[in-house]
Structure 1
Amino acid sequence: YETDGVVVKVSSLAQQAELGSISRSPRWAIAYKFPPEERETVVLDIPVFVGRTGAVTPVAMLEPVVVAGSTVRRCTLHNEDEVARKDVRIGDTVVLHKAGDVIPEIVRVIPEKRPRRTKRWAPPQHCPACNSELVREPGEAVRRCLNPLCPAQRVERLLHFASRGAMNIEGLGPAVIEQLVEHGFVTEAADLFGVTKEQLLTLEGFADRSAEKLVQSIEQRKRVPLPRLITALGMRHVGDHTAEVLAQHFGTLDALAAATSEELLAVEGIGEVVARDVAAWLQSDEGREVLANLRRAGVEAEHTERASGPLSGQTWVLTGTLDSMTRPEAEDRIRALGGNPGSSVSRKTHTVVAGASPGSKLEKARRLGVRVLEEDAFLAALEELEKQR
């Protein structure tokens, strides 16, 4: 069977006892991961795919090759600058590996195996789904389709809305959503909550029981935690963490919808670009219509109480690796005390917690004069604050 590394251990039980352990691992053992396995394959084509925000991503279609235990047939090329930097062309023989043993990635092209008369890949000028002109905005690495009615974007937005990290509608996958759109049953997220058993029975793969089950699954997701609904809206730059920050700060969807870019920018952890784009979407005709239609469909967000505690109003930022707990565990303990786990350091940051191998956040904290705690001091502070609750 495939292995991705080895563990080196001290064999003496007496020495193991002397060295001891930390909470997540023993001091008498260390893991070593092998360099990623590399394989050669051929680029058959470089089509582009349209995402939910209109971003157009080039993808290398490959001759099937087994890498790290699974067959790879495609891999993302991220954006046109990356294609140009690696000079990947149709017909090229390339070296492939899995980044982190998970994500297929083209490492390099083998120039001596390149066929004659190959041409550099040229990015498309029009959307492959709706033929609208693609636009590359200043400072961005991707071209975008700006047509809000683009069918490819519509499907991707619905997939994102129903996904596990958003509304988590069980049984509503790509094949079902594509059929719902093709049959004209669904054009936007709110339409999902009006899908009937009779409509589902006209789609491929549905019988009475499976249709009933999906209708029930959709109905059960009419009421979800506010961070999930914010994530599901699919606003640019808003992932799980940012959605949590916005939910904690504003408390309700109505309060968020009324926020100006200045009010959003005042939220710790929200930068200028995020504030601008979120405000623009919320104040746009499209954004207002999406929210109004979701309300009419009976979708509600559970009110997010602003946590109270000794860290209320404080933003704590983690950098590096903690020995005593995982980062999500540390963030949960900060939240339980009323604090906000931040993702970036600014003058408004209260404390930076520095674990092993800290990144640039530590340097920035020192430059701005933000308080820094090492792990032992952080643990002691948590224990003391938790006693006060």
Structure 2
Amino acid sequence: MDVLALITSLRNELNEHNYNYYVLDNPTISDFEFDQKLKQLQELETQHPEFFDLNSPTQRVGGSITKNFETVVHQNRMFSLENSYSKEDLTEWENRIQRVLGNVDVEYVCELKYDGASISITYQNGKLLRAVTRGDGFQGDDVTNNIKTIKSVPLQLKGNYPPKFDIRGEIILPFAGFEKMNKELIDIGETPYSNPRNTASGSLKLQDSSEVAKRPLECLLYTIVGANQFFKTHENSLEAARSYGFKVPNQSKLVKNLNEVFEFIDYWDTHRHHLPYETDGVVIKINDLDQQEELGYTAKNPRWAIAYKFKAEQAVTLLQNITYQVGRTGAITPVANLQPVQLAGTIVKRASLHNADQIEKLDVRVNDWVYVEKGGEIIPKIVGVDFNQRPIGSVPTQYITNCPECGTTLVRKPGEAQHYCPNFYECPPQIVGRIEHFISRKAMNIDGLGGETVTLLYKNGLVQNYADLYELKKEQILPLERMAEKSADNLMKSIEQSKEIAFERVLFALGIRFVGETVAKKLVKHYKNIDALMQADYNELVNVDEIGDKIALSIRAFFKDEANLELINRLKDYGLQFAVEEKESTQVSNKFEGMTMVVSGKFEHFSRDEIKQKIEDYGGKNGSSITGKTSVVVAGADMGPAKLEKATKLGIPIWAEEDFINQLNN
């Protein structure tokens, strides 16, 4: 056997043994035998570097160092799931589905919702190409080197797989591995990790992949994306993923109706405590992929899937005192400082009290014993008081009337639950908070600036607003605490690089109230540049997709403020991006200009995505649902009966595929 054939044979054999051990939990050789074969392969690869392969089993030990994780745009967006907390929520979800699909038979796949770090892994020609974190759903960090160290992630697929696809899943840390890691830390006098989920998530961003390799992480995969043409149902795709070599949890189950969904939920609500991993709910998905495509997506979630969250864990502890935090918008948040208590895998010391109404409603008082739970198992909140343990002489909580930071009298607008400090330009936490928001990773992403450094810059009179960052000099920041020569250089470089950040993130960074990431993207797509947005009146704004009354009023108020306009002009002068970088248009005609078209059903000559692209190429707009504003429905076979009925009722023209093709050709 020649050298390359021997190397290939060893790689294939070791990949199979990895699969048997880490995916099937059924090893067929001893650890000693595995190590000997791995050692033999390493020696051969060292002697023959011309046969190096990034996806060789020898590369799982890590060793590469990543200083900065490259940001990668997801080819297929990673949507979040709508949450539900009761069976009534699920019934309402099914009703919404039936209104779109018509009263057709629907099968569901129930899966456990594992609590880990989301990952999207791309395979091309059977080889692992790239692994990217969820990020904001549109883009994430390239953590390929770290993911390759996880033994349950196949480097080379088996069987008859699609040429290229993404597979999505969760990186998790099993309880046994988490406890082992913490024991080792305690033995050497170090602080143990707080919970498996955060430890797994943090592992993905370690700079040294050899350190990741030491952690007993696992990858549980749950959906294939970008290859629907190869499968008819979600269950088919899960079976295929298992055959390719992926670790797909075997707890998933195909069910025929909502009652069987409820049975699955009831079973795992109690039996989940015997699982080796953290899980916080059940994910329910429509099984038929055509029905999934028919249902489509909202701005944030797929309509064909929903998460059911198990009831949050509760704990009882002592409320020691109440403090008040001031946010970047001036919003006041009361915070309960608690006697530390263990809750859902973490030590809880603080919990939100939300607002004055909530305090009054629960009648929460200092020195009360209170019930604490994690809202969505993430943010602790107080949900009740044990009145039997209330001390004698207890007095009701009096909500503060003045800002705890600057002393300004608080205001509360009609119809709003929160109090606000109106001292927008002089209240220190608001100033620092706006700058922190501006530099944050999802906004301007200025590395080397954290909350403490921003506070130091403010206290030393170097910045009063985020525009001042662009006038900082190296010699000004060097004297600051913990600011060395290299740190100062990196900070100045990062500030300069932020001038290339895209307009949608700059708009989000400005901190306009109610303008989050998604709203900023919608506004940028519609207005293209900051000047057009500033000139838009209320009536124009509310006609933009997903911009309602509250957002429109907030935008108008922001751009009426002379101080804000001055900041924007300064940022323009510094070179920040306040216009969309125009991409080369694919439009070939304006035939469908002014038309909103809805695509439904299966097609013979085009895929749905190809038809949607054609609509845009010919100047039209794609609609997600049929309304009075819909111009035409392009209908294929098996169009949803509910859509057909609604289009007919509204008198909307319906084009078959041939009609659509004829329109293109005319």
TM norm. shorter chain > 0.5: yes
Alpha-carbon distance in 2 for matches of 1:179, 1:152:
12
Match of 1:269 in 2: 546
State whether residues 572 and 578 of structure 2, in contact with CA within 8 Å, keep that contact through their aligned partners in structure 1: no
Matched, 1:77 2:353: yes
Compared CA separation, residues 349 and 165, structure 1 to 2 (3 A): farther
Deviation at 1:189, TM superposition (A): 0.7
Match of 2:575 in 1: 298
Deviation at 1:28, TM superposition (A): 4.5
Deviation at 1:268, TM superposition (A): 2.3
Match of 1:47 in 2: 323
Deviation at 1:84, TM superposition (A): 1.3
Query: Which of 439, 450, 464 is the aligned partner of 1:173?
Result: 450
Alpha-carbon distance in 2 for matches of 1:111, 1:27:
44
Alpha-carbon distance in 1 for matches of 2:417, 2:402:
16
Compared CA separation, residues 45 and 291, structure 1 to 2 (3 A): same
Match of 2:419 in 1: 143
Alignment of 1:191-230 (within 5 A): 191-230=468-507
Compared CA separation, residues 347 and 72, structure 1 to 2 (3 A): farther
Alpha-carbon distance in 2 for matches of 1:204, 1:182:
12
Larger Rg: 2
C-alpha RMSD of the superposition = 4.0
Match of 1:21 in 2: 235
Alpha-carbon distance in 1 for matches of 2:395, 2:503:
49
Match of 1:243 in 2: 520
Alignment of 1:13-162 (within 5 A): 21=235, 23=237, 27-28=253-254, 32=268, 33=281, 35-149=311-425, 150-162=427-439
Deviation at 1:249, TM superposition (A): 0.4
Q: CA offsets, 1:109-152, max 9 Å, x none?
A: 11111122222222211111111111101111111111122111
Matched, 1:257 2:257: no
Alpha-carbon distance in 1 for matches of 2:560, 2:400:
31
State whether residues 43 and 63 of structure 1, in contact with CA within 8 Å, keep that contact through their aligned partners in structure 2: yes
Question: What is the one-letter code of the residue matched to 1:47?
Answer: T
Alignment of 1:185-196 (within 5 A): 185-196=462-473
Question: What is the one-letter code of the residue matched to 2:497?
Answer: Q
State whether residues 268 and 349 of structure 1, in contact with CA within 8 Å, keep that contact through their aligned partners in structure 2: no
Question: What is the one-letter code of the residue matched to 1:200?
Answer: I
Question: What is the one-letter code of the residue matched to 2:365?
Answer: R
Compared CA separation, residues 20 and 185, structure 1 to 2 (3 A): closer
Alpha-carbon distance in 1 for matches of 2:573, 2:374:
45
Question: What is the one-letter code of the residue matched to 1:46?
Answer: I
State whether residues 615 and 622 of structure 2, in contact with CA within 8 Å, keep that contact through their aligned partners in structure 1: no
State whether residues 190 and 290 of structure 1, in contact with CA within 8 Å, keep that contact through their aligned partners in structure 2: yes
**What SS does the aligned partner of 1:237 have?**
coil
Deviation at 1:22, TM superposition (A): 5.6
Compared CA separation, residues 35 and 270, structure 1 to 2 (3 A): closer
Question: What is the one-letter code of the residue matched to 2:531?
Answer: D
Compared CA separation, residues 99 and 173, structure 1 to 2 (3 A): same
Alpha-carbon distance in 1 for matches of 2:475, 2:350:
37
* Percent identical: 36
State whether residues 223 and 302 of structure 1, in contact with CA within 8 Å, keep that contact through their aligned partners in structure 2: no
Alpha-carbon distance in 1 for matches of 2:475, 2:631:
56
Alpha-carbon distance in 2 for matches of 1:151, 1:295:
25
Alpha-carbon distance in 1 for matches of 2:501, 2:456:
25
- Long gaps (5+) in structure 2: 1-174, 176-194, 198-219, 221-232, 239-247, 256-263, 269-280, 282-309, 599-607, 633-641, 652-656
TM-score by length of 2: 0.45
**What SS does the aligned partner of 1:213 have?**
helix
TM-score by length of 1: 0.75
State whether residues 530 and 579 of structure 2, in contact with CA within 8 Å, keep that contact through their aligned partners in structure 1: no
**What SS does the aligned partner of 1:95 have?**
strand
State whether residues 371 and 386 of structure 2, in contact with CA within 8 Å, keep that contact through their aligned partners in structure 1: yes
Alpha-carbon distance in 2 for matches of 1:370, 1:99:
42
- Long gaps (5+) in structure 1: 8-18, 318-329, 352-361, 372-380
Q: CA offsets, 1:271-327, max 9 Å, x none?
A: 12211120111121122122112123332235154987799878899xxxxxxxxxx
Compared CA separation, residues 291 and 3, structure 1 to 2 (3 A): closer
